[in-house]
Structure 1
Amino acid sequence: MIELRGVSKSFGAKRAVDHLDLTVRPGELFAFLGPNGAGKTTTIKMICGLLAPSGGTVTVGGFPASSAEARRQLGYVPDQPYLYDKLTGREFLRFVVEMYGVDREAGTARIDEMIDTFEMADFIDELCENYSQGMKQRVVFASALVHEPRVLVVDEPLVGLDPRSARIVKNMFVAQARAGAAVLMSIHLLAIAEELADTIGIVDHGRMLAVGSLDELRKQAQHDGSLEDLFLKLTGDGVHRAISPVARARLETPK
């Protein structure tokens, strides 16, 4: 589970995240939406322990996000993935499993499973410097999952992917949630969020405007339309409204 309570983050006089509440439960695929500069990446970095909040609490699997216990449960794919050019994809995955302390035999089995899942057999033993963007992204996703995390956090997962790689990644999201992982994806492609997400959260200026299923969002916005229509209604006029009672009731529901 991912849980944020009253989380704020300021950079000097600028407040990037403003008293944000957010919960992603096991088995839930949560789409985190907002305009550019809304605070999504800052929030994700706090969840992953890369930034400390200025206020509030962030927990992953019941542990503070900055703790080693939280990081062991977390798989993270940043918006700008990085690979070591002079390693092969297999060597990079081996590096990751050793970093997480996975037993060598179990690690080898997991690497083989990831190669199969992401259809990488044809290129996994080539140097990463020779990979296309889609190949690199598949290896990065595999590296986020190879230690079997209970929480998966992904920032803009489909940027630069060819249709085949995008389909593999989308199937992976659904499979992880069905296996019981808490999955949070920040994404600009509203059609993908509408297709895949169990729950959608819309944030702007660091505040949660609405959260729930698509039907719940329609009720909160008092507008019957597509996710794109709802998104533009909530964010397009620049009105920063407090979270609705329906959304607040969802956030405050006991575990």
Structure 2
Amino acid sequence: MIEISNVTKSYNNISNAVENLNLTINDGEIFGFLGPNGAGKTTTIKMITGIIAQDKGEIKINGINTKERPIESKKQFAFVPDSPDMFLRLKGLEYINFMADIYEVPKAIRKDRIEKLAERFDMASALGDKIQTYSHGMRQKIVIMGALIHDPSVWILDEPLTGLDPKSSFVLKEMMKEHANSGKTVFFSTHVLEVAEKLCDRVAIINKGKILFCGTLEEMKDHFKENSSLENMFLEMTENE
């Protein structure tokens, strides 16, 4: 569970990148975070994950305050950033073991997890190669594998499907559904509105740092009084702003 209460962030003390943000992402749901470029999506995700600190407000992950108990809160989630270009000189297996070491995953457990993740993402034959030799999609897959190696209850994914081939995209979406169905939390940002429409239990639309809507797709359609697609609703909502 992720709880965001009255959170505000400014980079210049003049205008707010995120203003008075309130969101609750429940256990057992896939929650989509939508918005145009520069809307405040990545800033929000960076605050949730502790990469940057909010100026005001409170963020809790599984009841743990991210400012008061930063290390403990970070152990609660997997984070996949919007760029997979990191640790390029490490081999794939070295990177995953590095992530497993950080999260203190026992070696007996990690071996089985690595094998299962590598099989699902079709990466077993590439684990001995350096990440710098990987395609963009393969880098994305190795970052996802590293993020999931400690089997956290909360997944925070920033544009996770970007660069994935159709098969891997399908696998990740199925894993997101499995994770939510087991009573755990998936929070992800996306520009692909069709994915959000098919995958999410609830969505929030952010623009200019403010939440314009939060709820189910049915509630959004009721709000617009028409049987419209998510894309049409999204465009109308953000253009009006």
Q: Render the CA deviation track for 1:105-146: whole Å, top value 9, x for unaligned.
A: 112222222112222112122221111111111111111111
Q: TM-score, normalised by structure 2?
A: 0.94
Superposition map of 1:155-166 within 5 A: 155-166=158-169
Look up the equivalent residue of 1:35 and give its one-letter code. P
Q: Do the aligned partners of 1:85 and 1:128 also contact (CA within 8 Å) in 2? A: yes
Gaps of 5+ in 2: none
Q: Render the CA deviation track for 1:42-94: whole Å, top value 9, x for unaligned.
A: 00000001111111111111111241111001100011123322222111111
Q: Do the aligned partners of 2:115 and 2:124 also contact (CA within 8 Å) in 1? A: no
Superposition map of 1:1-255 within 5 A: 1-12=1-12, 13-66=14-67, 67-238=70-241
SS at match of 2:240: coil
Which residue of structure 2 aligns with residue 241 of structure 1?
A: none
Q: Do the aligned partners of 1:223 and 1:230 also contact (CA within 8 Å) in 2? A: no
Q: Do the aligned partners of 2:4 and 2:59 also contact (CA within 8 Å) in 1? A: yes
User: Aligned partners of 1:179, 1:141: CA distance in 2, in Å?
Assistant: 19
Q: Do the aligned partners of 1:20 and 1:207 also contact (CA within 8 Å) in 2? A: yes
SS at match of 2:126: coil
Task: Give, in angstroms, the shift of residue 177 of structure 1.
Answer: 1.4
Identity of aligned residues (%): 40
Q: Do the aligned partners of 2:35 and 2:207 also contact (CA within 8 Å) in 1? A: yes
User: How large is the Cα RMSD of the aligned pairs?
Assistant: 1.3
User: Aligned partners of 2:85, 2:66: CA distance in 1, in Å?
Assistant: 22
Runs of 4+ in 1 over 3 A off after TM superposition: none
User: Aligned partners of 1:42, 1:146: CA distance in 2, in Å?
Assistant: 25
Task: Give, in angstroms, the shift of residue 223 of structure 1.
Answer: 3.5
Which residue of structure 2 aligns with residue 243 of structure 1?
A: none
Look up the equivalent residue of 2:92 and give its one-letter code. G
Gaps of 5+ in 1: 239-255
